[in-house]
Chain A
Amino acid sequence: MTVAAVSILTLALLIISVILVISISANMGLKYVQDKIDIRVYFKGNVEEQDIMAFRSEIQKYKEVKAAEYISKNKALDDFKAANAGKPDILKAVEAVEENPLLASVNIKAANPEQYDIIAKSVENSSYRDNIASINYQQYKLVIDRFNTTIKTIRKTGAFLFVLFSLIAILITFNVIRMTIFNHGTEIEIMRLVGASNNFIRLPFVFEGVIYGIFAAVISIILLYPIMKVVTPYVVGSAYVQIIQADFIRYFVLIFIAQLFVGVFLGIISSILAIRRYLKV
């Protein structure tokens, strides 16, 4: 029975740990992608710089916009050269053209990734639309959507599974501890008769629950690494396995503390529930 209690507690802890690791990683991945994305509004070659600046200051007024950076034609060329520094063919081709072939642009970063649609639409419909050569943002939308749905699915199924297994764990631990209490029936009766406080009577059984929780936490942290290795590719796709495993090692202590905390918490809840009826006055 003790084995049953510890193993079901371990299972609950493993589920919460896997969810924790994956959602930490997915969040970090999302943040990484979010930092890279922006809306690039390219202006036609004949548009004056002051018009572009006017557009920039207007767009900055929106609360959805976190930042708007002006990139002049020259800056664009420098950036392009720097990006292609190792490719002499391309550099030569650029220099062969007398006039700067690149367009000036404004890079817009949204406060919230879900607002790129709104921003892009309002730019498209603004009074500046005749000056705009193109708006570029579509390419990141898919990645963001995928991250968002993945995180949401993980959280939902994870929370459901965690609650389910926590309940099962509490139920089983509750019964195991109740058996221990039953075996100590006379002792509890005598304790009550000679005036032991309820906490004094409760303590050893709560301690038992705590021990189960600690055991479960230790076992699950040992099992977690191999499980993560097997499970992650199915959940988030093999591309992110490396990131997740790196995160796992980085957050090892945090995860273990979380497991200990949850394990001990479940153990205490179970034991308090189990002893409750024996303390009724």
Chain B
Amino acid sequence: MIEFKSVKKIYTGGIMNTCALDDVSFSIDEKEFVSFVGHSGAGKSTILKMIYAEEKPSSGEVLFNGEDITHIKPKGMPLHRRRIGTVFQDYKLLQKKTVFENVAFALEVSGYPNSEIRKSVPQILEIVGLSNKAENYPHEISGGEKQRVAIARALVHRPALIIADEPTGNLDPISAWGIIQLLMKINKLGTTVVLATHDKEVVNNIKRRVITLDQGRIIRDHSKGRYAI
């Protein structure tokens, strides 16, 4: 589904050029659950951003379903994004919208009809366990719940892939584990999940494929990996 071919990323500027990714190659199959681990600055986020085409490699290729997305045209961008759901550490929810509206927002901007929105959003809220919070605003719910809203929003247009960049970074261990379990449940339902984290507990409990990064290089890629740096 995703394939990186000797991808390099060099950030120019400052006194020295920073090499964020150095000759990174890997591939991820459909329905996999892959965790990227490593210290801050190891290149986890850069890899994730390249998958949803927010960053372009300095050299090398990124393929998505066999299609080169490093040269994606601005017009093709929205369609590419609609195949992917994204979840972030800071939730990125709209404070002035309710939980329901936040989730519906993802459908609205893609031009789904209202009837579809009224049907899909409650279903997704049911899956993430927030049916009773639909009319609450983000500031009225807990961090774990906010992240569930973000996951619901990422899922609602039924993407083939969920990208989660440090989704548990702001959460206590119990909420964090809840979020990871939710991602695993989503994965079980058939969605590929790519997770970036530096949470040792989380990684060791998932017991799925782990790719370890250090200073922009892949140093380990184990199918039932553990957090070991």
Chain A residues with a Cβ under 8 A of chain B: 186-187, 189-198, 200-201, 279, 281
The answer to whether A196 touches B92 (Cβ under 8 A) is no
A residues within 8 A CB of B111?
200
8 A-B contacts (beta carbon < 8 Å): A186-B92, A194-B105, A195-B80, A195-B157, A196-B109, A198-B74, A201-B109, A281-B77
B residues within 8 A CB of A186?
92, 94
Judge whether B53 is part of the interface by a CB distance below 8 angstroms: yes
The main secondary structure of chain A at its interface with chain B is: helix
**Cross-interface CB contact of A195 among B75, B82, B92, B94, cutoff 8 Å:** B82
A33 to chain B, nearest CB (A): 57
The answer to whether A190 touches B78 (Cβ under 8 A) is no
The answer to whether A187 touches B110 (Cβ under 8 A) is no
**Cross-interface CB contact of A193 among B72, B74, B75, B86, cutoff 8 Å:** B86
A202 to chain B, nearest CB (A): 12
Interface centre among A186, A195, A196 (most CB of B within 10 A): A195
The residue on B at minimum CB distance from A191 is B109
The answer to whether B79 touches A195 (Cβ under 8 A) is yes
Q: How far is the CA of A196 from the CA of B79 in the complex (A)?
A: 8
The answer to whether B94 touches A194 (Cβ under 8 A) is no
Judge whether B209 is part of the interface by a CB distance below 8 angstroms: no
* Chain B window 59-99, contacts with chain A (Cβ cutoff 8 Å), 1 for yes, 0 for no: 00000000000001011011111100010000010100000
Q: How far is the CA of A194 from the CA of B52 in the complex (A)?
A: 10
- Assign chain B's interface to a size class: 20 to 34
Judge whether B106 is part of the interface by a CB distance below 8 angstroms: yes
Q: How far is the CA of A199 from the CA of B7 in the complex (A)?
A: 31
The answer to whether A194 touches B74 (Cβ under 8 A) is no
Interface centre among A187, A197, A201 (most CB of B within 10 A): A197
B121 to chain A, nearest CB (A): 13
B residues within 8 A CB of A194?
81-82, 86, 105-106, 109-110, 153-154, 157
The residue on B at minimum CB distance from A281 is B74
The residue on A at minimum CB distance from B73 is A281
The answer to whether A198 touches B78 (Cβ under 8 A) is yes
A residues within 8 A CB of B106?
194-195
The answer to whether B77 touches A193 (Cβ under 8 A) is no
B228 to chain A, nearest CB (A): 32
Q: How far is the CA of A171 from the CA of B72 in the complex (A)?
A: 32
Q: How far is the CA of A8 from the CA of B194 in the complex (A)?
A: 51
Q: A195-B110, A196-B109, A196-B110 are in contact. Are A190 and B82 (CB under 8 A)?
A: no
Interface centre among B72, B78, B106, B157 (most CB of A within 10 A): B78
Q: How far is the CA of A197 from the CA of B75 in the complex (A)?
A: 8
Q: How far is the CA of A158 from the CA of B148 in the complex (A)?
A: 60
The residue on A at minimum CB distance from B109 is A196
* Chain B window 100-115, contacts with chain A (Cβ cutoff 8 Å), 1 for yes, 0 for no: 0000011001110000
Q: A196-B110, A281-B77 are in contact. Are A190 and B92 (CB under 8 A)?
A: yes
A57 to chain B, nearest CB (A): 68
Q: How far is the CA of A186 from the CA of B80 in the complex (A)?
A: 20
Within 8 A of A (CB), among B17-63: 52-53
A205 to chain B, nearest CB (A): 15
Q: How far is the CA of A32 from the CA of B81 in the complex (A)?
A: 65
* Chain B window 175-188, contacts with chain A (Cβ cutoff 8 Å), 1 for yes, 0 for no: 00000000000000
Q: A195-B110, A196-B109, A200-B109 are in contact. Are A190 and B74 (CB under 8 A)?
A: no
The answer to whether A193 touches B52 (Cβ under 8 A) is yes
The answer to whether A187 touches B94 (Cβ under 8 A) is yes
Interface centre among A186, A189, A194 (most CB of B within 10 A): A194
A residues within 8 A CB of B52?
193
B96 to chain A, nearest CB (A): 9
Q: How far is the CA of A193 from the CA of B53 in the complex (A)?
A: 10
Q: A187-B94, A190-B105, A200-B109 are in contact. Are A195 and B78 (CB under 8 A)?
A: yes
The answer to whether A197 touches B92 (Cβ under 8 A) is no
The answer to whether B74 touches A195 (Cβ under 8 A) is no
Closest 10 CB pairs of A and B: A195-B81, A196-B109, A195-B82, A194-B106, A195-B78, A197-B78, A281-B74, A193-B86, A191-B109, A281-B77
A residues within 8 A CB of B154?
194
The answer to whether A281 touches B53 (Cβ under 8 A) is yes
Q: How far is the CA of A208 from the CA of B53 in the complex (A)?
A: 29
